[in-house]
Amino acid sequence: MKEQLEAILQAATEAIRSSAAAPDLEALRVKYLGKKGELTAILKQMGRLTAEQRPAMGKMANEVRAALETALEEQAAALSEKALEARLSLETVDVTIPGKPVETGHQHPMYIALDEFKEIFINMGFEVMDGPEVELSEYNFTKLNTPDDHPAREWSDTFYLDKDSKTLLRTQTSPMQIRAMEKYGVPIRMISPGRVYRKDEVDATHSPMFHQIEGLVVDKGVTMADLKGTLNAVLQEIYGSGTKTRFRPHHFPFTEPSCEVDVQCHKCGGKGCPTCKGEGWIEALGAGMVHPKVLSGCGIDPDVYSGYAFGFGLERMAMARYKISDLRLIFENDIRFLEQF
């Protein structure tokens, strides 16, 4: 019996080790360990053994069973590992094949720039206001201290909607200064972006419709130093920290003192190059202290309150930022252009 057990152990172990698939393994388990299996058959002969022989043989039979069970488990694990490997190898993909497209749209570059701009000002405690594009010349010009005979009022420069030149397409976002002061009084701290219109034929740098961003701050004790500090902070955010700026005197009917603000040319660092037309500086915006006549026209006492206003050209900013060379691209809306942003 001992020999029988040893023979079974040896034969079974070999068979298990050499089995190649899970079903073969199951068949071997049945063959040796099943109810009618070879080991079971031997165990059934235990009755014929002597009492002295029985414990030793029993122990041995159990050891053989355990060994076979272990062998079966190990072989099963090995086979399953092998099968997995085969599957994984079969499932291997070419990772250089492009992914399945997920189409997303693109924001217009001008409005990317505008959104960023709004966020800068929102973070500085400003509010964003919206106003009419069809405007009264009263607001677009008169209340902004623009004389009746100012050339900007001419029909060759401004689009009019009535014969008496009373309603027009606003030529600037500055009328929003008046609307904001009239509606909310003081204090005020706002920006107002929007479309403006001037009678310019379309070319690489002109468009009859373009965008401006107006800004207005009015309160007690607002100074030109505040104007400088605020605009410098904003320009650092837009053009990068360390950007050099210069404020130089200019003229607008509705501010006094007035200034234009230049940013040092990013291309030549101020030496002068074609981008900045040799000047070393690129004009960024116009600004100034709100003219006392404008304040009093809105019912605000210029001896008590003061304020500053500024105006950015959005196209210019977006074009500089993305190096867009031709303004027409902005309004052409070619998808190949839009997809770049």
Partner 1 sequence: MKLSRKWLREFVDLSDVGDREFSDAMTLSGSKVEATEILNESLKNVVVGRVLSMERHPDSDHMWVCQTDVGQAKPVQIVTGAWNVHKGDFVPVALHKALLPGGKTIERGELRGVMSDGMYCSLKELGLTVEHDYPEAVINPAAILDDYHPLDPAKRSIPVGIKPGQKLSEEIAVGEILEISTLPDTSENPFRYAIKLNPGIPLDWGHTTITIGTAFSNLHVGDMVAYHLPRMWQYDRIGHHSSEILCSPDEFSPDDFRTELVPGMKIYGPVIVAKVSALEKYAYGCWRTTLNVGGAEMEMDESRLHNLHVGDFVAWDTERHEICTLSDLHAQQKEFPHCIPDGIWILSGEHNPGADIATLIGADDHVVEFEITPNRPDCLSVIGLAREAAATFHKPLIHHKPEIKGSGGNIAELLDIEIEDGSLCPRYTARLVKNVKIRPSPEWMRERLRNSGVRPINNIVDITNYVMLEYGQPMHAFDFACVDGGKIVVRTAREGETIRTLDGTTRALTPDMLCICDAEKPVCVAGVMGGANSEIIGDTAMVLFESANFNGASVRRTAVALNMRTEASSRYEKGLDPMNTFRAVQRACELVEQLGAGEVVEGLLDVIAADRPPVTLTLEPQKINRLLGTEISSDEMRGILTSLEFKLDGNNVHVPSWRGDVEHYSDLAEEVARFHGYNEIPDTLSSGLNARRGFTREQKAERLLGALCRSCGYSEIITYSFISPAAYDKIRLPDDSPLRKSLKILNPLGEDRSIMRTTILPSMLEILTRNWNYRNKSVKLYELGRTYFPRGDGLADEPKTLCLGAYGADMDFFALKGAVEAILNGLRVPEVSYTAQSENPSYHPGRCADVYAGNRYLGVLGQIHPKVAETYGIDGELYTAELSLDALLDCAGAEPVYQPLPRFPSVPRDLALVCDKALPVAELRDVIRQSGTELLKAVSLFDIYTGPGIPADKKSVAFNLTFRSDERSLTAAEVEEAVTKILDALRESLNAVLR
Count of C-beta atoms within a 10 Å radius of residue 114: 20
Q: At closest approach, how far in Å is the CB of 93 from partner 1? A: 25
CB-based contact 110:338 (threshold 8 Å): no
d(CA 328, CA 332): 6
d(CA 73, CA 25): 9
Coil, strand or helix: which one is 120? helix
Q: At closest approach, how far in Å is the CB of 285 from partner 1? A: 14
Count of C-beta atoms within a 10 Å radius of residue 140: 24
Residue 70 binds to partner 1 (criterion: CB under 8 A)? no
CA neighbor of 192 nearest in space, from 176, 179, 178: 176
Out of 52, 163, 242, 323, name the contact with partner 1 by CB under 8 A: 163
Size of the site for partner 1 (CB under 8 A): 84
Contacts of 121 (CB under 8 A, 6+ apart): 128, 191, 215, 234
Residue 339 binds to partner 1 (criterion: CB under 8 A)? yes
Out of 11, 53, 195, 203, name the contact with partner 1 by CB under 8 A: 195
Give just the sign of the alpha carbon dihedral 170, 171, 172, 174. negative
**By CB under 8 A, what part of segment 306-335 binds partner 1?**
306, 330-335
**By CB under 8 A, what part of segment 71-110 binds partner 1?**
103-108, 110
**By CB under 8 A, what part of segment 255-314 binds partner 1?**
256-259, 277-278, 289, 291-293, 306
Out of 4, 40, 142, 167, name the contact with partner 1 by CB under 8 A: 167
Q: At closest approach, how far in Å is the CB of 223 from partner 1? A: 3
Residue 122 binds to partner 1 (criterion: CB under 8 A)? yes
Residue 242 binds to partner 1 (criterion: CB under 8 A)? no
Out of 31, 208, 266, 267, name the contact with partner 1 by CB under 8 A: 208
